[in-house]
Amino acid sequence: MVNIAVAGGSGNVAKEILDVLVATGKHQIVLLSRKEVPANLAQGVTWIKANYDDTEGLVEVLQGVHTLLCFITPQSDPGNSSQKNLIDAAIKAGVKRYAPSEWATFDYMPWYAGKGEVREYLHELNRSKKVLEYCLFQPGMFVNYYTAPYKTSKHVHPFQNQIDFNNRRAIVLEGGEDSPIGLVTVRDFCNVVARAVEYEDVWPIIGGIRGEELTVAQLIAVGEKVRGGPFTIEKMKAEDLQAGVVKSTWLPKVDHPAIPPEQVDALSASFVSGVLLGMSAGAFRVSDEWNRLLPEYEMTGAEDFLADAWRCKP
């Protein structure tokens, strides 16, 4: 049994992980959120409305907590002040393990820039001696996103992206067809995190969770196979994207819950640029630390998952 606190517990990924942790029946769980207590709170879970500006108040809340999982998004935390306060409070409260709001490796996305700052903050805190054990959980891309508009998990919202299975089309970087993408199902990701919470040895700092790695070309080929026809491909030049120019007849509608609706259209072009340039630089390649530490867990193949998800779909 592990005493767990989850910060930013109302987010979609946090809810997916919470469901798995609750289902084990092994843990005491406290959710910290700026929002009011939800009506459908799971049995055995305690909800605390958090003030992330009050470090001493957080210290009190975190007393007795062994593992703290953070899902505060960079978009909602200018300057990462909330997460830094949470980290400081965790150290004062004697929390043993911390998982920062990483949950991705997308360093080329400007809206994720805060993740790098938090990594550096944790690194500096532990420079002279370890004051807080932490792990950067990195799952790569959820393969569930390629089932949009159909949901294949309870909470994670699949949104249209530059490889659009539904409309059999893709936007790719010229010369970037061999760029690697680490893919994992939401289910496998959550199951690995739940096992990591119970892992008795020291957490790795880099915590890659690799379901399967495919190149852009291989993923499109899977799409053509499971969708029963060729994709229409549009190719972008790197120099255009670097200049902020996206020459495409269509743009994905990135209606992610973390993005305000009024910003969706404006972010579409920068989303495509960031994803394509990031892929070409290997930002979507995922290491396999947790695969090696949990060798008994069998990952779901991307093609098998997508074939099931798209079976009988128009």
Out of 20-34, 235-249, 252-266, least confident range: 252-266
Averaged pLDDT for residues 14-38: 90
Is-above-0.85 flag for pTM? yes
pLDDT tens-digit readout, 75-111: 788 889 999 999 999 999 999 999 999 987 666 676 6
- Burial degree of 56 (CB within 10 A; 0-12, 13-18, 19+): exposed
* For residues 109-136, average pLDDT: 91
CA distances from 43 to 11, 98, 195, 306 (A): 18, 24, 21, 33
Pick from 175, 151, 141, 148: nearest CA to 164: 148
Range 142-183+212-283+300-310 has CATH code 3.40.30: no
**Residue 257 pLDDT more than 70?**
no
For the chain, the structural domain boundaries read 3-134, 142-183+212-283+300-310
Q: Which of 131, 155, 159, 127 is nearest to 146 (CA)?
A: 159
Average pLDDT of the residues of the chain: 92
Name which CATH class applies to 3-134: alpha beta
Pairwise CA distance, residues 89 & 70, whole Å:
13
Share of the chain above pLDDT 90, in %: 77
Answer positive or negative: Cα dihedral of 89, 93, 94, 100. Answer: negative
pLDDT at site 268: 84
* Per-residue pLDDT tens digits for 201-234: 999 999 999 999 999 999 999 999 999 999 999 9
Q: Which two tokens stand for residue 310?
A: 């798209």
For 151-205, the pLDDT digits (tens) are: 999 999 898 999 999 999 999 999 999 999 999 999 999 999 999 999 999 999 9
**What is 122-166 written as a DSSP string?**
HHHHTSSS-SSEE-EEE--EEGGGGGTTS--SSS------SEETT
Quickly list DSSP for the chain: --EEEEETTTSHHHHHHHHHHHHHT--EEEEEESSPPPTTPPTTEEEEE--TT-HHHHHHHTTT-SEEEE---GGGSGGGHHHHHHHHHHHHHT--EEE-S-----TT-GGGHHHHHHHHHHHHHTSSS-SSEE-EEE--EEGGGGGTTS--SSS------SEETTTTEEEEETT-TT-EEEEE-HHHHHHHHHHHHH--SPPPSEEE--SEEEEHHHHHHHHHHHHTSPPEEEEE-HHHHHTT----S-------TTS-GGGHHHHHHHHHHHHHHHHHTTTT----HHHHHSTTPPPPPHHHHHHHHHTT--
9 or 189, higher pLDDT: 189
How does residue 258 score in pLDDT terms, banded at 50, 70 and 90?
low
pLDDT above 70 coverage of the chain, percent: 96
Instruction: Place 60 in a pLDDT band, splitting at 50, 70 and 90.
Output: very high
What mean pLDDT do residues 25-45 have?
83
